[in-house]
């Protein structure tokens, strides 16, 4: 198992994304391996970690990244907030992965049926509210999806467009971080029904979904 750790420490962003997509296909088809979870492996990791990706996802109980992407201990530095909002501690945690651990792949994984986006849509594009922590979180999601997304001219909201817009906005924001360096930022959308991820933005890595 230690050999596998050394290999993963050396994987580049494109190979890392391929590992995630392969793991997701295993999960979705009921062939998950639950890798890198043995007692030996746990002990091998005590001295240090070298995850191959920073995974930015939602807190939703149906989308745990290590499970739906079939990864194990030491594979992913996982940052989860509702609707993968980035304000504050989340952005700092992502920076920790990119700068301190030298992770070269950052993956934003949104999902269908996201409650944070539903909350932003329910607000109907009203003025940002500030208020408590949860209000501020929904404010961030609202600003990503935008008033047009929340109040389209037709009077109906295309929630599927909002799911994608929320991923795109987070990807764009992270690409603008001055500390990003050479790290690649990729956007995925996980489908609750199929269990599969769709590539929203491959970050130029050229990995087929
Ligand atoms: Zn969600």
What is the Å distance from ligand 1's center to 106 Cα?
Answer: 18
- Pick out the chain residues at pLDDT < 50: 1-2, 153
Position 54 scores a pLDDT of: 98
**What's the 103 CA to ligand 1 centre distance in angstroms?**
24
Question: Ligand 1 centroid to 15 CA: how many Å?
Answer: 26
Q: How close is the Cα of 4 to the center of ligand 1, in Å? A: 32
Q: Which pLDDT belongs to residue 161?
A: 86
Q: Give distance in angstroms: CA of 74 to centre of ligand 1.
A: 24
Q: How far apart are CA 53 and CA 78, in angstroms?
A: 8
Predicted local distance difference test score (pLDDT) of residue 160: 87
Task: Give residue 43 CA to ligand 1 midpoint distance, Å.
Answer: 33
Environment class of residue 205 by beta-carbon count within 10 Å: exposed (0-12), middle (13-18) or buried (19+)?
middle
pLDDT at 108: 98
| pLDDT computed for residue 13 by the predictor | 96
The domain 2-117+158-201 having CATH identifier 3.40.50.2020: the answer here is: no
- For the entire predicted model, the pTM comes to 0.91
Distance 187 CA to ligand 1 centre (A): 14
CA of 179 from ligand 1 middle (Å) equals 26
**pLDDT at position 186:** 98
Output the CA torsion sign for 26, 57, 198, 202.
negative
| pLDDT number for residue 206 | 85
């Amino acid at each position: 198992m230690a050999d596998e750790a050394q290999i993963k420490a050396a994987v580049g962003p494109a190979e890392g994304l391929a590992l995630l997509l392969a793991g997701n296909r295993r999960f979705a088809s009921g062939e998950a391996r639950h890798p890198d979870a043995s007692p030996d492996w746990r002990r091998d990791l005590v001295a240090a970690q070298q995850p191959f990706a920073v995974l930015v996802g939602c807190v939703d109980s149906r989308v745990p990244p290590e499970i739906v992407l079939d990864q194990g201990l030491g594979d992913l530095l996982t940052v989860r907030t509702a609707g993968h909002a980035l304000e504050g501690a989340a952005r700092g945690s992502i920076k920790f992965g990119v700068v301190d651990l030298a992770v070269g792949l950052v993956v934003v994984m949104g999902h269908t049926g996201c409650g944070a986006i539903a909350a932003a849509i329910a607000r109907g594009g009203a003025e940002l509210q500030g208020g408590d922590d949860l209000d501020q979180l929904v404010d961030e999601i609202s600003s990503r999806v935008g008033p047009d997304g929340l109040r389209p001219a037709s009077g109906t909201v295309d929630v599927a467009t909002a799911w994608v817009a929320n991923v795109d906005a987070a990807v764009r924001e992270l690409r603008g971080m001055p500390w990003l360096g050479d790290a690649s930022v990729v956007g995925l959308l996980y489908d609750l029904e199929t269990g599969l991820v769709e590539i929203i933005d491959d970050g130029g890595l050229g990995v087929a979904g």
